[in-house]
A and B are shown apart, each in its own frame.
Chain A
Amino acid sequence: MELLQLAVGGLANGCIYGLVALGFVMIYKASEGVNFAQGDMMMLGAFVALGLGNGDHLGLPFVLAVPLAMAVMFCVGWGVERVVVRRIFGQPQFALVILTIAMGFVFRFVAGAVFGYTPLVMETPYGGQNLNLGGVVIGYADLIAIAVTIVLTVALWAFFAFTRIGLAAQAASQNQLAAYIVGVPVMRVNSLIWGLSGAVATVAGVLYASRGAIDPNIGLLGIKAFAAAVIGGLGSLPGALLGGLIVGLVEPIAGRYAPGEVAQMSPYILMLVVLLTRPSGLISQVQMKKV
């Protein structure tokens, strides 16, 4: 019973890691670099939603505030690609890494300057309500986190599998040169992917915020989500989600049954183990080029 209780909470947490990890992977595939500001984009998304929705700020209804926040963060992601990332196209990979780390700091300070550093609680219609299922108490926030993650994953999958632009995005990530050759506007597709990952990060942020208070430093969760993406196999969307779920599940269980600080370290221990045993991650895309 106790294990089940831990698992539900862990699963909900894992969904949030998974969504942030999805953002990592999408950008990794589009720009061939890691966006270390992904966690901070999640944080910023949560704060934008809070700023739009909370009574002491703009006070829009929740169902309006969240899509609006997603739209705003879509534009932020798009703009970051358009204005900054495109400039360093063709530079070594670490240029993008350093750039995004710096961008993460900027996001953190902007959020801190606007909203302050004391933890804030987002007002949601389902906050603090629980469902009691024969001894297992499940928060609505947890259930919604899981449900929204499923819906969003299916929607993203359908977008990449069935739409013309989605197919073009897949093409651009698999073979950029060939994408140029068939006439895919690779740069514009990349901007779109950055925008999408901004919107996905916002959803993750709202889900996070509805399960607890937020402050500008929650973006550091991105490091854990990055570990999740690596565990799943950087470059694979289902892998990212799987990695997120695994990390989310292992953490509370390690916290309950293992001594002291192991819970804190567990995602990274897991990452080390995966990297040592399956260097390309649990679900990897291995490609062999024929000549």
Chain B
Amino acid sequence: MSVLSVRNLEAFYGAIKALRGVSIDVEQGEIVAILGANGAGKTTLMKTIAGLMDPGKGSITFLGEEIAGVDPARLVARGISLVPEGREVFPYLTVEENLRLGAFTRKGGAQDDLDLVYGYFPILQERRRQAAGFLSGGQQQMLAIGRGLMARPKLMMLDEPSLGLSPLLTTEIFEIIARLNAEQGVTMLLVEQNAHIALETAHKGYVLEMGRIMMSGPTERLKASEDIQEFYLGRTEATERGQKRWKRRKTWR
């Protein structure tokens, strides 16, 4: 049984259709990446799955149960946790309070989970008494991921973890994401603009454009695709005249 299965999902901002019938599947233990340019609908897709936006049409099934339109607080309790775009930490609360809020829907102690998070992100333990607003961007991203982990998610959704981070920090964050997946068995759905690192980390990928899935498959196959190489990985192809060819068309259009 797949962890998450989205079928023909449509979502609107007012009259504007942001998702035009998206279907994706996430299997147990996988990292699934969603690639796409600005405005492709990636964040909308994440928000709709997390219950922050109401789906217009279509179905979202999580562990065999329909969850379209369910209250976000319920979804967290059921095991979906979102690491939102732009971190969104609680700026005046301490690092530790931020983490403890991640376990808000679970009654009882969260000490084990705190230790787990501190194990992966030692810098957070060092700064656990500091207000989260004073952390650097990378540390805030680690805090957001840690906060997501605190809910003991069955599915973790990461919305652009590399946003605003240096290439070095991006690599570090993605290494930890891969380790969390391998060691803790956390299933992940990942949205990323940095296609290079996303395709390195993920097992399976979808390409979202203008609110539609244009391509999907195991990351090896995506990496091998001419179109992905040209438009997402930025490979420049030397032609006979020794310069990049102007305006290549995507073959999937």
Contacts and interface: CB of A to CB of B under 8 A. Distances in A.
Nearest to B163: A291
Interface string B86-98: 1111111100010
B102 A290 contact: no
Contacts of B101: 167-168, 171, 179, 182, 184
Interface string A44-65: 0000000000000000000000
Contact of B92 (A170, A177, A183, A291): A170
Interface in B95-140: 97, 100-102, 104-105, 133, 136-137, 140
Given A175-B91, A181-B82, A182-B147, A288 B104 contact: no
A137 interface: no
Interface stretch (B71-79, B171-179, B219-227): B71-79
A179 to B, nearest CB: 8
Given A167-B100, A291-B137, A180 B92 contact: no
Nearest to A291: B164
Nearest to B136: A290
A118 interface: no
Interface in B43-100: 50, 52, 71-73, 75-77, 81-82, 84, 86-93, 97, 100
Contact of A175 (B75, B89, B136): B89
Contact of B76 (A164, A171, A183): A183
A239 B129 CA distance: 23
B189 to A, nearest CB: 14
A289 B164 CA distance: 12
A285 interface: yes
B151 interface: yes
A67 interface: no
Contacts of A291: 86, 137, 163-164
Nearest to B50: A181
Given A183-B151, A290-B137, A285 B92 contact: yes
A181 B84 contact: yes
A289 B88 CA distance: 9
Contacts of A4: none
Residue of B84, B90, B151, B164 with most chain A CB atoms under a 10 A cut-off:
B90
Contacts of A180: 52, 72-73
A95 interface: no
A178 B72 CA distance: 11
A168 B93 CA distance: 11
A181 B33 CA distance: 20
Contacts of A129: none
B191 to A, nearest CB: 15
A126 to B, nearest CB: 39
A290 B133 CA distance: 8
Interface residues of B, number: 33
Interface string B191-206: 0000000000000000
Residue of B73, B76, B147, B151 with most chain A CB atoms under a 10 A cut-off:
B73
B72 A183 contact: yes
Interface residues of A, number: 22
Contacts of A182: 76, 81, 101-102, 104-105, 147, 151
B76 A181 contact: yes
A170 B90 CA distance: 9
A174 B89 CA distance: 9
Given A183-B104, A183-B105, A184-B73, A171 B93 contact: yes
B92 A174 contact: yes
A290 B75 CA distance: 28
Interface in A176-207: 177-185
Nearest to A165: B104
A287 interface: yes
Contacts of A179: 90, 101
Nearest to A184: B104
Interface string A227-264: 00000000000000000000000000000000000000
Contacts of B91: 174-175, 287, 289
Interface in A142-172: 164, 167-168, 170-171
Interface of A: 164, 167-168, 170-171, 174-175, 177-185, 285, 287-291
10 contacts: A174-B91, A177-B52, A178-B89, A182-B102, A182-B104, A182-B147, A183-B105, A184-B104, A185-B73, A288-B133
Given A287-B92, A291-B163, 17 more contacts: A164-B104, A167-B101, A170-B90, A170-B92, A171-B93, A174-B90, A175-B89, A178-B88, A179-B101, A180-B72, A181-B82, A183-B73, A183-B75, A183-B76, A184-B101, A287-B91, A291-B164
Interface of B: 50, 52, 71-73, 75-77, 81-82, 84, 86-93, 97, 100-102, 104-105, 133, 136-137, 140, 147, 151, 163-164
Which 10 residue pairs across A and B have the least CB separation, nearest first? A183-B76, A183-B105, A178-B88, A183-B73, A174-B90, A291-B164, A180-B72, A171-B90, A290-B137, A182-B101
